[in-house]
A and B are shown apart, each in its own frame.
Chain A
Amino acid sequence: MSTGTTKLDVVVSDVVPVNELVTRFHFRRRDGELLPTFSGGAHVVVEMRDGNRTRLNPYSLMGSPLDTREYTISVRRDDIGRGGSLFMHRSVHAGLEMVISYPVNLFSLDLRAKKHLMLAGGIGITPFMAQTAQLAGSGGNFELHYTCRTASLGTYADLLQQRYGRRVRLYHDDRNERVDLDRLLSSQPLGTHLYVCGPAGMINWVRDRAAVLGWPSETVHFEHFAAPQPGAPFDVTLAVSGKTIRVGEQQSLLEAIEAAGVDPPYLCRGGVCGQCETNVISYDGKFIHNDHWLSEEDHRSGCKIMPCVSRFEGKSLVLER
């Protein structure tokens, strides 16, 4: 059993198209009970039975943590991705029975903060839906800056503005509106914490500027679900289980290990939580580390790999699994 990923049996209670790219899914427990409590920023891993393969994708819970009758997630369709979001859009309908993990929070609010400054890009808005609901419920001080491509792709922008008024600022790429980041960051009162979720480029930009402008790293929180990158197939030997497996072009190393009947731990499947860390016993070739967990030194040492996002090119790779 994977650590921290106890399963929940749910039924899809509703499927709601939100705009041309995004669809919202509602889940209830099959036994009619309340779902486990969660805090804003938590995600669940959704299991998708797609023919003979199982896809496992993490999605942020976007409902209010104050209401656990149902969980809601929003999925942005990615036509050139590996197929998980397409499966959700095409094959998941109300009434379908599914399995999801317990919620895990790798992007929680620091409730000691005097103020919460949130920056969202595109579908990165979803964790903030829950976080703003949580803060609004407890009188917390927050401000949300949300960048979207066009007004029609501003998922939930209307709803957020309706709920929180001037605490929400929108920026539209097609109107050339851009966050004046340096000014925004420099005008925040002492004790502010910063949260950013969106494309990798945005996260890096915000983290860099915050560091330069003197924000201590403890006050900067970010979340990015890196989808596993495709690459050339490679072979791996799993020393503990005595198996040799092939990792396909579109498959992650973690997925290949799971497909071989081994059940390694994971939480985020996005290279940030550290849960899937695996020791390398020997290798002849080169690693393609795509994670944000291991240090540069770990990467250079060739002793460790994060199989949820990282790959390998070369003659042989033996892992302690």
Chain B
Amino acid sequence: MAAKTIISRPVYGTLSPQPGKHHLFVADAEGALAIIDMAGKAPDGFFDGAEIVFIAGPEGKHIAALEALKPAQLHLPPSFASLLPRLKQTLTNAHMGLRLYLCGTEGLIGQAMQVALEAGIDHTSIETEHRGSLARRMQCVHCKGITENVTTQPALCSHCGLLLLVRDHYSRRLAAFQGVCINAEDRSEIPPMEEIFR
């Protein structure tokens, strides 16, 4: 779990079953394990009213384990981009009583939460659990381009090529951390690049 450093830095919890009629899980990668762990604490019949959306990745790991939970629906989109229209649709048509659970990488949690906030769900009522890579979604504050899966400090902006300091300053609206030019005074100064958001 990521440490709490500055106020905008998201803090994640451990999924726990909420009262409610419908349960929507959005997960990627190791996030499947968070659902499976939570299932042990869920009341009987909990998954009868549950929909799981899982981006499994190329190896297709954990799919069988999620099937075994017998959710009302299991949907396996290839990428976040491909699940987005469906997620928006589901939330637009949903009623109070739907509970949202987001688990897996920070990028997935942040982007799914962005959609949920637009649909009117308060971020404090969303269950989240971070699992797997600490790779960050980063916005370059200079060109506004978003770079996915940033694991190094500093990091290169994939749009404008500036070398950026990846800050803990997080934008919920953009679901991204802010990257600020690290050598604005003297471009020839190149600090060593370390892999730190593994």
Which residues in A have some Cβ–Cβ distance to B below 8 Å?
112-114, 185-192, 211-216, 218-219
Kindly state whether residue B95 has any CB partner on chain A within 8 Å. yes
Interface residues on B, range: 10 to 19
Kindly state whether residue B94 has any CB partner on chain A within 8 Å. yes
> How far apart are the CA atoms of A183 and B136 in the complex, in Å?
42
Choose among A187, A188, A212, A216 the residue that contacts B122 (Cβ–Cβ < 8 A): A216
A183 to chain B, nearest CB (A): 11
B122 to chain A, nearest CB (A): 5
B120–A113 touching, CB < 8 Å: yes
Kindly state whether residue B121 has any CB partner on chain A within 8 Å. yes
B20–A214 touching, CB < 8 Å: yes
Chain A residue with Cβ nearest B120: A191
Choose among B18, B22, B121, B124 the residue that contacts A191 (Cβ–Cβ < 8 A): B121
> How far apart are the CA atoms of A218 and B18 in the complex, in Å?
14
B19–A213 touching, CB < 8 Å: yes
B95–A187 touching, CB < 8 Å: yes
A191–B119 touching, CB < 8 Å: yes
B125–A219 touching, CB < 8 Å: yes
B124–A218 touching, CB < 8 Å: yes
B97–A185 touching, CB < 8 Å: yes
Choose among A190, A213, A214 the residue that contacts B119 (Cβ–Cβ < 8 A): A190
Chain B residues whose CB sits within 8 angstroms of the CB of A187 once the complex forms:
95
Kindly state whether residue B159 has any CB partner on chain A within 8 Å. no
Kindly state whether residue B142 has any CB partner on chain A within 8 Å. no
In order of increasing CB-CB distance, the 5 nearest A-B pairs are A191-B120, A214-B20, A216-B125, A214-B97, A114-B120
Among B83-101, those with CB < 8 Å from A are: 91-92, 94-99
Chain B residue with Cβ nearest A210: B96
A211–B19 touching, CB < 8 Å: yes
User: Apart from A190-B96, A190-B121, A191-B119, what 17 extra A-B contacts exist at CB < 8 Å?
Assistant: A185-B97, A186-B95, A186-B96, A186-B97, A188-B95, A189-B94, A189-B96, A190-B91, A190-B92, A190-B94, A190-B95, A190-B120, A191-B120, A191-B121, A213-B19, A213-B96, A219-B96
Chain A residue with Cβ nearest B100: A190
Kindly state whether residue B21 has any CB partner on chain A within 8 Å. yes
> How far apart are the CA atoms of A215 and B19 in the complex, in Å?
8
B120–A213 touching, CB < 8 Å: no
Choose among B21, B91, B92, B122 the residue that contacts A214 (Cβ–Cβ < 8 A): B21
> How far apart are the CA atoms of A113 and B95 in the complex, in Å?
13
Chain A residues whose CB sits within 8 angstroms of the CB of B19 once the complex forms:
211-214
Interface string of B35-62 (1 = CB under 8 A from A): 0000000000000000000000000000
Chain A residues whose CB sits within 8 angstroms of the CB of B95 once the complex forms:
186-190
> How far apart are the CA atoms of A112 and B116 in the complex, in Å?
13
Chain B residues whose CB sits within 8 angstroms of the CB of A211 once the complex forms:
19
Most interface-central of B92, B94, B119, B120 (chain A CB within 10 A): B120
B96–A215 touching, CB < 8 Å: yes
B120–A214 touching, CB < 8 Å: no
> How far apart are the CA atoms of A114 and B95 in the complex, in Å?
12
Chain B residue with Cβ nearest A113: B120
A-B contact pairs, 18 of them (CB 8 A): A112-B120, A112-B122, A113-B120, A186-B95, A187-B95, A189-B94, A189-B96, A190-B96, A190-B119, A190-B120, A192-B96, A213-B19, A213-B20, A213-B97, A214-B97, A215-B96, A216-B124, A219-B125
Chain B residues whose CB sits within 8 angstroms of the CB of A112 once the complex forms:
120, 122
Among B1-40, those with CB < 8 Å from A are: 18-22
> How far apart are the CA atoms of A283 and B17 in the complex, in Å?
41
Chain A residues whose CB sits within 8 angstroms of the CB of B91 once the complex forms:
190
Chain A residues whose CB sits within 8 angstroms of the CB of B92 once the complex forms:
190
Choose among B96, B98, B120 the residue that contacts A185 (Cβ–Cβ < 8 A): B96
> How far apart are the CA atoms of A190 and B122 in the complex, in Å?
10
> How far apart are the CA atoms of A219 and B123 in the complex, in Å?
11
